[in-house]
């Protein structure tokens, strides 16, 4: 019995057989191919390039969101290296001129550049050689990605890997073929980790030397609570593990009991908890978290795949599928919210000095009408069940709403002409992210069916603070008096014109801000699926009337620290168990 | 064909993002554009090429362009260097 220690990132305990996936140690031999096969080989390589680009873009966007610009730069460089074509052309030339397998050609070019970079004395530049190696490993992986995905040996195993392309990991995990994950390093696994958590797959990072120490078919105990990986455990260890596992299951079971409670506070005030999702398959597990519908389906991930973005038909199938799965619960689909960071591969956009105030979201799409119409056509058409709502991000003025509605009408008419319209209109909603829109709510009675508040962006634009900028992020607080007042105002104004509002930013999924919103009178909350159980546990433990009284007091205070302190202290005094830690194991 | 030699003044030199910006800008011109740094000469339209230069602060670099819009190309690229790639203020 041997043990490795790493960093637990997704809870749970699992016992199973190891499958070691070692990307860096593949031995590649020079394999000649006949001249006639060159074209197929180039196709195979081109597919890998296409796949790699899409993958890197996904990881990039994800890193950008979770870790900020600096961390995302590594992937951005890799993406640009593949995109700009020089590297890729070098590889193609080798395949053509030397009639070799793509794997070999990639290895050749990698060796060439790694050599060039190795000679650079300046360390920061020398490290760029690693970027090239990373890209090459990915390109090689993706040549056989299909093989990996359909490999029948991969079933009910604990995957031990130094690195695995996130798309492959996602695919395997979503098919339920992976019991646990152990990684040598931490690196670029953010996306994989998020999925592992969502799917409750115990995961450990930074288990150094894991791929060397562990061999295929070893029996492993992966403890996602303390970060230990035990290789070929003794009998007594296994017994201990099983007891611990049972305790943990009990704890989880208790949380599941919470999920069975009705969605009301102790004084019978109702609330609705919905989920935010990004990938279509996330919708499968959303229900098990107790979500009453999808409050925000971010379609940006679909947009990253050019084929999907350009195909109204493919999008239609995706949207329809999700709507059917959730019927009769609502599914709110937000149109592509892109353009903040950089131009997409297939949308030409000038580099802007201030992208957060520039051409993005609906602003970009009103310029890219073809793509925009494809998406809204797909959404209109997918609403066969009648539970789809459409949501437009970053609306600034009423003129935009008129333009969007005209486009919607056109798309609807086109569908009717093609006899593809089923007669169910989608509800029309806009995001409240730009503070100016709050002042427009009173004029929108006839034009908008519902509102969604993006609290992160609303705060950014209200306080003029980029919360990812560490030197000013301290200014970004949900307890700033202006934030509190504007949240009260939004609810009041939209209730006055009889419209539903859902809060879908981060505030909706965090204990005290969620309670604050509830006290203000908000009843609809859409959040990261993982937060739903905890928010529900808290909401079902408190009295709405009391929280309301506490939150009303906040309007009299002029500083964020006073507000935060008062809110937390008063609530904790009455409900000390709002903050319970999970039991020790 | 025209040339201009300037000094690299941004702290990080031609690091990844700056190189990406530079190759992006170079690609917007029709002219053939090269960067000459010490003994190396690379295509300014290739991110990979620029990265291999490992060009760092305090060193001279030559921009060379040949084509219809060579004048504008050299001028705009030199400007980008002088503006430190808009990354420091």
Q: What is the mean pLDDT of residues A305-316?
A: 84
DSSP string over B21-65? HHHHHHHTSSSEEEEEETTEEEETT-HHHHHHH---TT-EEEEEE
Looking at A142-151, A363-372, B15-24, which range is the least confident one? A142-151
Share of chain A above pLDDT 70, in %: 88
Q: Which CATH number covers residue A37? A: 3.50.30.10
Q: Which residues of A touch B50 (CB under 8 A)?
A: none
Between CA A504 and CA A298 the distance in angstroms is 11
Query: With 60 as the cut, is the pLDDT of residue A167 above it?
Result: no
Closest CA to A571 of A585, A552, A540, A550: A550
Query: With 50 as the cut, is the pLDDT of residue A91 above it?
Result: yes
Residue A38, in any domain of the structure: yes
Closest CA–CA distance from residue A58 to any residue of chain B (Å): 18
Contact A122 B54 (CB under 8 A): yes
Residue A270 per-residue DSSP state = B
Facing A84 at nearest CB: one of B15, B23, B54: B23
Domain tally, chain A: 1
Looking at A97-106, A148-157, A417-426, which range is the least confident one? A148-157
Tokens 């260097």: give the residue: B81
| N-term to C-term CA, chain B | 33
Tell me the torsion sign for CA atoms A195, A293, A335, A401: negative
Contact A120 B47 (CB under 8 A): no
Contact B16 A87 (CB under 8 A): no
Residue A249, in any domain of the structure: no
Q: Which residues neighbour A376 within 8 Å (Cβ) at sequence distance 6 or greater?
A: A335, A390, A407, A408, A411
**Domain B2-86 classification at class level:** alpha beta
- Establish if A31 touches chain B: CB-CB under 8 angstroms: no
Q: What is the mean pLDDT of residues A370-393?
A: 95
Q: Which residues neighbour A274 within 8 Å (Cβ) at sequence distance 6 or greater?
A: A291, A292, A293, A294, A295, A296, A330, A332, A502, A504, A524, A525, A526, A527
The pLDDT tens digits of the residues spanning A451-493 come to 999 999 999 999 999 887 778 888 999 999 999 999 999 999 9
Residue A284, in any domain of the structure: no
Q: How many CB atoms are closer than 10 A to CB A144?
A: 15
The pLDDT tens digits of the residues spanning A14-63 come to 999 998 876 555 567 777 888 888 999 999 999 899 988 888 888 788 76
Query: With 90 as the cut, is the pLDDT of residue A435 above it?
Result: yes
Q: What is the mean pLDDT of residues A304-313?
A: 82
Q: What is the mean pLDDT of residues A367-379?
A: 93
pTM reported for the whole predicted model: 0.59
User: What is the predicted ipTM?
Assistant: 0.74
Q: Please tell me the predicted confidence (pLDDT) of residue A504.
A: 93
- A102 touches A48 (CB < 8 A): yes
Name residues 19-78 of chain B within 8 A of A (Cβ).
Answer: 20, 23-24, 43, 45-49, 51-52, 54, 56
Contact B16 A73 (CB under 8 A): yes
Q: Please tell me the predicted confidence (pLDDT) of residue A70.
A: 63
Contact A80 B56 (CB under 8 A): no
Facing A77 at nearest CB: one of B16, B46, B52: B16
Q: Is pLDDT larger for residue A546 or for residue A199?
A: A546
Q: Which residues of A touch B23 (CB under 8 A)?
A: 80, 84
Contact B16 A86 (CB under 8 A): no
- Establish if A125 touches chain B: CB-CB under 8 angstroms: yes
Q: Which residues neighbour A146 within 8 Å (Cβ) at sequence distance 6 or greater?
A: none
Q: Which residues of A touch B20 (CB under 8 A)?
A: 76-77, 80
The pLDDT tens digits of the residues spanning A336-347 come to 988 776 445 667
3-state secondary structure of A466: coil
Q: What is the mean pLDDT of residues A119-133?
A: 74
Q: Please tell me the predicted confidence (pLDDT) of residue A133.
A: 78
- A220 touches A182 (CB < 8 A): yes
Contact B15 A86 (CB under 8 A): no
Closest CA–CA distance from residue A117 to any residue of chain B (Å): 6
Q: Which residues of A touch B46 (CB under 8 A)?
A: 84, 86
DSSP string over A388-435? EEEEESS--SHHHHHHHHHHHHHHHHHHHHTT---S-PPEEEEEE-SH
Which chain A residue's Cα is nearest to B49? A86
Q: How confident is the model at residue A307 (pLDDT cuts 50, 70, 90)?
A: confident
Q: How confident is the model at residue A517 (pLDDT cuts 50, 70, 90)?
A: very high
Token pair listed for A334: 């937000």
Residue A574, in any domain of the structure: no
φ and ψ at residue A559, rounded to 5 degrees: -135, 150
The H-assigned helical ranges of A68-204 are 69-84, 86-98, 102-118, 123-126, 128-143, 145-150, 166-174, 190-198
Domain containing A139 equals 1-235
3-state secondary structure of A453: strand
Q: Is pLDDT larger for residue A292 or for residue A153?
A: A292
Token pair listed for A152: 């029948």
Q: Count Cβ atoms within 10 A of the Cβ of residue B24 and give its class: 0-12 exposed, 13-18 middle, 19 or more buried.
A: middle
Closest CA–CA distance from residue B39 to any residue of chain A (Å): 14
Query: With 90 as the cut, is the pLDDT of residue A436 above it?
Result: yes
Q: Which residues of B touch A121 (CB under 8 A)?
A: 54
For chain A, the helix, strand and coil percentages under 3-state DSSP, each to the nearest 5 = 55, 15, 30
Catalytic residue positions of A?
Answer: 191, 504
Q: Which of B20, B22, B27 to mutate to test the interface with A (most CBs of A within 10 A)?
A: B20
Closest CA–CA distance from residue A82 to any residue of chain B (Å): 10
Closest CA–CA distance from residue B37 to any residue of chain A (Å): 13
Token pair listed for A231: 């290789």
Q: How confident is the model at residue A152 (pLDDT cuts 50, 70, 90)?
A: very low
Contact B16 A131 (CB under 8 A): yes
Q: Which residues of B touch A120 (CB under 8 A)?
A: 52, 54
Q: Please tell me the predicted confidence (pLDDT) of residue A170.
A: 65
Residue A362, in any domain of the structure: no
Closest CA–CA distance from residue B2 to any residue of chain A (Å): 25
Query: With 50 as the cut, is the pLDDT of residue B89 above it?
Result: no
Token pair listed for B57: 């602060």
């Amino acid at each position: 019995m041997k043990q490795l220690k790493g960093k637990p990132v997704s809870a749970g305990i699992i016992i199973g057989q190891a499958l070691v996936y070692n990307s860096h140690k593949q031995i590649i031999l020079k394999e000649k191919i006949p001249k006639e096969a060159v074209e197929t080989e180039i196709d195979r390589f081109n597919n890998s390039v296409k796949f790699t680009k899409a993958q890197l873009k996904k990881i990039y966007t994800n890193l950008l969101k979770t870790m900020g610009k600096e961390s995302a730069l590594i992937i951005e460089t890799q993406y640009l290296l593949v995109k700009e074509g020089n590297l890729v052309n070098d590889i193609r030339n080798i395949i053509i001129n030397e009639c070799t397998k793509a794997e070999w050609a990639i290895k050749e070019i990698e060796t060439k550049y790694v050599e060039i970079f190795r000679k650079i004395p300046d360390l920061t530049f020398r490290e760029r050689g690693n970027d090239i190696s990373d890209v090459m490993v990915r390109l090689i992986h993706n040549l056989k990605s299909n093989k990996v995905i359909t490999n029948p040996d991969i079933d009910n195993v604990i995957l031990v890997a130094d690195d695995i392309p996130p798309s492959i990991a996602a695919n395997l995990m979503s098919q339920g073929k992976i019991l646990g994950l152990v990684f040598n390093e931490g690196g670029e696994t953010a996306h994989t980790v998020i999925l592992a958590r969502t799917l409750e797959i115990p995961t450990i990072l930074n288990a150094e030397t894991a791929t060397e120490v562990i061999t295929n078919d070893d029996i492993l105990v992966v403890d996602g609570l303390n970060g230990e990986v035990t290789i070929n455990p003794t009998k007594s260890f296994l017994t201990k593990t099983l007891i611990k596992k049972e305790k943990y299951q009990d704890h989880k079971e208790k949380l599941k009991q919470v999920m069975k409670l009705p969605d009301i506070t102790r004084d019978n005030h109702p609330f609705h908890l919905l989920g935010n999702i990004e990938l279509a398959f996330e919708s499968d597990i959303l229900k098990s978290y107790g979500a009453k519908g999808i409050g925000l389906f971010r379609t940006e991930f679909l947009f990253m795949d050019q084929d999907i973005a350009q195909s109204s038909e493919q999008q239609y199938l995706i949207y329809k599928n999700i709507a059917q799965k959730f019927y009769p619960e609502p599914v709110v689909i937000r149109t592509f919210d892109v353009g903040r960071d950089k131009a997409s591969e297939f949308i030409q956009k000038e580099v802007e000095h201030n992208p957060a105030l520039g051409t993005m979201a609906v602003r970009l799409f009103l310029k890219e009408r073809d793509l925009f119409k494809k998406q809204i056509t797909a959404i209109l058409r997918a609403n066969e069940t009648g539970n789809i709502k459409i949501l437009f991000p970053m609306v600034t003025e009423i003129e935009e709403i008129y333009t969007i509605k005209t486009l919607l009408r056109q798309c609807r008419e086109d569908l009717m002409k093609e006899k593809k319209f089923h007669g169910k209109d989608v509800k029309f909603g806009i995001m409240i992210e730009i503070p100016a829109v709050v002042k427009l709510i009173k004029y929108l009675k006839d034009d908008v069916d519902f509102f969604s508040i993006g609290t992160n962006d609303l705060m950014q634009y209200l306080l003029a603070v980029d919360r990812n900028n560490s030197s000013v992020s301290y200014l970004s607080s949900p307890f700033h008096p202006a934030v509190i007042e504007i949240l009260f105002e939004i609810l009041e104004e939209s209730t006055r014109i009889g419209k539903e509002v859902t809060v879908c930013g981060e505030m909706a999924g965090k204990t005290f801000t969620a309670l604050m919103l509830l006290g203000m009178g908000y009843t609809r909350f859409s959040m990261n699926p993982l937060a739903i159980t905890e928010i529900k546990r808290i909401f079902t433990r408190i009295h709405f009337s009391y929280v309301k009284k506490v939150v009303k007091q906040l309007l009299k205070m002029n500083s964020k620290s006073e507000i935060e302190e008062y809110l937390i202290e008063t609530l904790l005094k009455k409900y000390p168990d709002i903050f319970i830690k999970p039991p020790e194991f | 064909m025209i040339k201009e030699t300037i000094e690299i003044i941004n702290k990080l030199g031609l690091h990844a993002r700056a190189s990406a910006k530079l190759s992006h800008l170079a690609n917007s011109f029709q002219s053939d554009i090269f960067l000459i740094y010490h003994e190396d000469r690379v295509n300014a339209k290739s991110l990979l090429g620029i990265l291999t230069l490992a060009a760092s602060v305090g060193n001279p670099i030559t921009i060379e362009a040949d084509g219809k819009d060579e004048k504008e190309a050299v001028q705009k690229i030199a400007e980008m260097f002088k503006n430190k790639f808009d990354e420091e203020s």
